[in-house]
Amino acid sequence: MASCKSSIALNLTDRVGSSYPPRVSGEIHVIIGPMFAGKTTSLLRRIRSERNNGRNVAMIKSSKDTRYAIDSVVTHDGVKFPCWALPDLTSFRHNVGEDAYEKLDVIGIDEAQFFEDLYDFCCKVADNDGKTVILSGLDGDYLRSFGSVLDIIPLADTVTKLTARCEVCGKKAFFTFRKTAATQTELIGGADLYMPVCRQHYVNGQTVVETSRIVLESTSVHHQTTQLSCLEAATAAVLQSQ
Ligand SMILES: Nc1ncnc2c1ncn2[C@@H]1O[C@H](COP(=O)(O)OP(=O)(O)O)[C@@H](O)[C@H]1O
Ligand SMILES: Cc1cn([C@H]2C[C@H](O)[C@@H](COP(=O)(O)O)O2)c(=O)[nH]c1=O
């Protein structure tokens, strides 16, 4: 009987590529919200607290985030924590080494929205390897959807949505407004490019952006730089006049 069990375990191990049954129960905790809401601050606080409780921790961030430091997670007000800056999460285990990976209890992930393999990594680390994942990231881009973090919600033990302060009126901010006319989803930046806004000022701002874009595209303003500056100036003026 014992050999039968171990042969089943062996087969499953072969198939899923990790230990079966899982050694201990893992956890996934998700921190979301707009930019400047304190997501990274909260992640660092939790990781430090785990470390102070004697658990082995590692921090990862996307290597796309080069704003304040290459190999540290840094909050907007300058609090730092050393990290692995990686292009994807799948390479983490190889980078950190098998022995060090085995000993890890808790893995923190910042800027989680930039990792396309976030779902697979979280499943593997928590479900199969029994580790705790604490991740922070944007639930919404400037158009209010950022796929990879939203996909994790059904896997999570806890989800904490933080808010910032609307830069226009000071009310609670749930969204991030992009201050430039750039339209690509990923655009690295801080307060130079983005501001947190409440629902009213998000909707007002987006309406101005879209209207200005339509007007500018249908006029004879040929110079693209001029068009973009017009759009940005119009948006800023409307937002500040609310
Ligand atoms: N509009 C803003 N521009 C620049 N810094 C801000 C702004 N609003 C808040 N902050 C600062 O950012 C800190 C939060 O930073 P951080 O934890 O990195 O946020 P998040 O990870 O959610 O973007 C706040 O404690 C505050 O000091
Ligand atoms: C809204 C939005 C943001 N980004 C980028 C901008 C920053 O580099 C990060 C978010 O950093 P934070 O720690 O949450 O402040 O994401 C983006 O690429 N696209 C967007 O629409």
Determine, yes or no, domain membership for 234: yes
Ligand 1 pocket test: pick from 32, 35, 36, 45 the residue with the most ligand atoms within 8 Å of its Cβ. 36
Determine, yes or no, domain membership for 71: yes
> Considering its fold, how many domains does the chain have in total?
2
Residue whose CA lies nearest to ligand 2 atom number 20? 141
Which CATH number is 60's domain given? 3.40.50.300
Which domain, by its residues, includes 181?
172-241
* Catalytic member of 102, 111, 217, 232: 111
Determine, yes or no, domain membership for 224: yes
pLDDT surpassing 50 at residue 117 = yes
Determine, yes or no, domain membership for 7: no
Using CA atoms, how far apart are residues 104 and 131, in angstroms rounded to an integer?
A: 7
Same domain, yes or no, for 49 and 157?
Answer: yes
Same domain, yes or no, for 81 and 136?
Answer: yes
What are φ and ψ of residue 9, in 5° steps?
-60, -40
The more confident residue out of 223 and 161 is 161
User: What confidence category does residue 55 fall into, taking pLDDT thresholds of 50, 70 and 90?
Assistant: very high
Determine, yes or no, domain membership for 196: yes
Tell me what pLDDT residue 232 has.
72
pLDDT surpassing 60 at residue 60 = yes
Same domain, yes or no, for 158 and 176?
Answer: no
Determine, yes or no, domain membership for 18: no
Give the range among 6-15, 60-69, 82-91, 158-167 with minimum mean pLDDT. 6-15
Q: Is the ipTM of this complex over 0.95?
A: yes
pLDDT surpassing 50 at residue 7 = no
Same domain, yes or no, for 187 and 129?
Answer: no
Domain boundary among 142, 162, 182: 162
Domain boundary among 114, 139, 162: 162
Q: Which long-range contacts (CB under 8 A, 24 or more apart) does 12-17 make?
A: 16/128
Average pLDDT, stretch 205-229? 71
Tell me what pLDDT residue 225 has.
61
Q: What percent of the chain has pLDDT over 90?
A: 71
Please give the model's pTM, rounded to 2 decimal places: 0.86
Determine, yes or no, domain membership for 206: yes
Average pLDDT, stretch 107-128? 97
Q: Give the model confidence (pLDDT) of 65-92 as tens digits.
A: 999 999 999 999 999 999 999 999 999 9
Same domain, yes or no, for 57 and 157?
Answer: yes
Same domain, yes or no, for 95 and 180?
Answer: no
The more confident residue out of 240 and 130 is 130
Same domain, yes or no, for 186 and 146?
Answer: no
Same domain, yes or no, for 227 and 123?
Answer: no
Determine, yes or no, domain membership for 55: yes
Ligand 2 surroundings by CB, under 6 angstroms: 35, 39-40, 65, 67, 138, 141-142, 176, 178, 185-189, 194
Q: What share of the chain is helix, strand, coil (3-state, %, to 5)?
A: 40, 20, 40
Same domain, yes or no, for 61 and 131?
Answer: yes
User: What confidence category does residue 207 fall into, taking pLDDT thresholds of 50, 70 and 90?
Assistant: confident
Using CA atoms, how far apart are residues 229 and 224, in angstroms rounded to an integer?
A: 9
Tell me what pLDDT residue 47 has.
98
Tell me what pLDDT residue 221 has.
54
